[in-house]
């Protein structure tokens, strides 16, 4: 009897040791198997939050035209990752897209199976029965100088009478697309969890002016439920041209006349050690304006690309929501002025209000140092006065 007990104990230990504690994305089967193994080590509440995190990452963290493509991209993203790393990635993704979800909060999305349900369930929170989708738009973030700086776009699932449908606990992927003259210029995603969905704040500073025709845009919103995709568009929405993202215009490089021959018939040749700096393209404050516009539009990649500041480190450090610029929700610029300009360096002052994602607003006066990099101004220092 004791011998049988030890054999069963060894078998149990062997089965436990075979379970994986990190994602194996060799193929779809190993991916699903490793996810199941990782979930089996968690308690019931942790399993729900783990499933929600995977859904957040699959819906908003990767790209793909089909469910299969998204699942494949998710596997590549998570390969080798453990549960705490996956939860942290989902937190960052939710914060980036303005989704009211955290890995430490109570369950809010339900048991989401990224591989598809194995069997029918009695209740599917995403199976919303609606007649159509309504779309409300209005101007917002009005500035006393520039005028309206954003358009609020709010979709609602409605019944046959046009009344909003009451629901909660859902996780409906909601996609906003912006067009002008038939060309798509912006795409944004969010998660509709109930009928009080705040919608999208479409900041005009995120729309490049050179792609807007006649100062008009078309917006289209798609809400994806379990069995049906609902779509609605609004055509010919007016935008405020003063608030649009303006292109950086490069000034033409002045040509330097050749040095004439000397009286002896020879020519004056510049020394190979004489370094010639390229002429900067435009006013340095244009770079600072682009930086702040991208920061306010939460286009952190665009803001990072106009800088070469060693103190900001890598893009991951720069965009960190706690110690970097990832926590910025909005920037309200008061003034930008060039303090000094040289061949290789410049100084620009900026006064603006920064609103963080937790709602706190801070007034800042900043001196930006810039350097000439291959004919373009790049932010190389950042000092708060």
* Model pLDDT for residues 329-375, shown as the tens digit of each residue: 888 888 898 888 888 889 999 999 888 887 888 888 899 999 988 88
Percent of the chain at pLDDT > 70 equals: 83
| 187 DSSP β-pair partners | 177
Longest dimension (CA), the chain: 114
| Among 313, 157, 151, residue whose Cα is nearest residue 240 | 151
What the chain holds in terms of domains, given with CATH numbers, is 15-120 (no CATH), 132-243 (2.60.40.1930), 284-384 (3.10.450.100)
> For residues 142 and 181, is the Cβ–Cβ distance under 8 A?
no
Packing angle between helix 44-56 and helix 83-96, nearest 10 degrees?
Answer: 50
- For residue 79, the model assigns a pLDDT of 92
Find the mean pLDDT for residues 289-293: 90
* Claim: this prediction has a pTM higher than 0.85: no
- Indicate the SS3 state at residue 365: strand
Residues near 372 by beta carbon (within 8 Å), at least 6 away in sequence: 277, 278, 280, 343, 344, 345, 346, 378
Around 334, how many Cα atoms within 13 Å sit in the side-chain half-sphere? 11
- Provide the sign of the torsion angle of the four alpha carbons 359, 360, 366, 369, taken in this order: negative
How high does pLDDT run on average in the chain? 81
Bridge partners of 338, per DSSP, are: 348
Q: What share of the chain is helix, strand, coil (3-state, %, to 5)?
A: 30, 30, 40
Distance CA 146, CA 136 (A): 23
Confidence of residue 264 (pLDDT cuts 50, 70, 90): very low
What CA–CA distance (Å, rounded) separates 176 from 164?
Answer: 19
Helix (H/G/I), strand (E/B), else coil: 90: helix
Q: Answer whether residue 112 shows pLDDT above 70.
A: no
Query: Bridge-partner residues for 156, per DSSP?
Result: 134
Chain centre distance of CA 15: 41
Q: pLDDT tens-digit profile of 213-262? A: 999 999 999 999 988 999 999 999 999 998 887 765 444 444 444 444 44
**What is the C-alpha separation between 282 and 291, in angstroms, rounded?**
15
Residue 95 pLDDT grade (very low, low, confident, very high; cuts 50, 70, 90) = confident
């Amino acid at each position: 009897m004791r011998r049988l007990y030890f054999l069963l104990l060894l078998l149990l230990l062997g089965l436990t040791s075979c379970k994986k504690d990190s994602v194996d994305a060799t193929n779809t089967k190993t991916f699903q198997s490793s996810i199941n193994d990782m979930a089996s080590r968690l308690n019931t509440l942790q399993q729900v939050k783990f499933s929600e995190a995977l859904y957040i990452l699959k819906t908003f963290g990767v790209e793909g035209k089909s469910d299969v493509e998204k699942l494949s991209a998710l596997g590549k993203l998570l390969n080798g990752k453990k549960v705490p790393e996956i939860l942290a990635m989902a937190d960052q993704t939710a914060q980036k897209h303005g989704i009211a979800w955290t890995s430490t909060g109570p369950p809010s999305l339900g048991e989401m199976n990224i591989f598809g349900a194995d069997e029918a369930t009695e209740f599917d929170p995403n199976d919303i029965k609606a007649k159509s989708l309504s779309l409300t738009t209005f101007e917002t973030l009005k500035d006393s100088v520039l005028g309206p700086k954003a358009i609020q776009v709010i979709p609602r699932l409605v019944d046959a009478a046009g009344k909003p449908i009451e629901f909660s606990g859902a996780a409906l992927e909601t996609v906003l697309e912006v067009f002008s003259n038939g060309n798509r210029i912006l795409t944004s995603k969010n998660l509709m969890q109930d009928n009080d969905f705040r919608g999208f704040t479409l900041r005009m500073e995120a729309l490049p002016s050179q792609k807007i025709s006649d100062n008009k845009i078309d917006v289209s919103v798609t809400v994806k439920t379990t069995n049906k995709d609902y779509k609605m568009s609004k055509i010919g929405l007016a935008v405020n041209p003063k608030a649009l993202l303006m292109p950086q215009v490069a000034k033409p490089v002045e040509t330097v006349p050749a040095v004439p021959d000397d009286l002896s018939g020879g020519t004056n040749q510049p020394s190979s050690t004489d370094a010639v700096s390229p002429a900067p393209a435009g006013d340095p404050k244009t770079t600072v304006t682009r930086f702040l516009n991208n920061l306010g539009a939460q286009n952190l990649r665009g803001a990072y690309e106009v800088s070469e500041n060693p103190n900001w480190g890598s893009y991951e450090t720069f965009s960190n929501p706690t110690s970097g610029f990832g926590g910025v929700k909005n920037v309200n610029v008061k003034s930008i002025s060039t303090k000094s300009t040289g061949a290789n360096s410049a100084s620009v002052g900026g006064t603006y209000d920064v609103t963080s994602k937790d709602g706190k607003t801070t007034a800042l006066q900043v001196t930006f140092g810039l350097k000439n990099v291959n004919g373009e101004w790049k932010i190389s220092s950042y000092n708060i006065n």
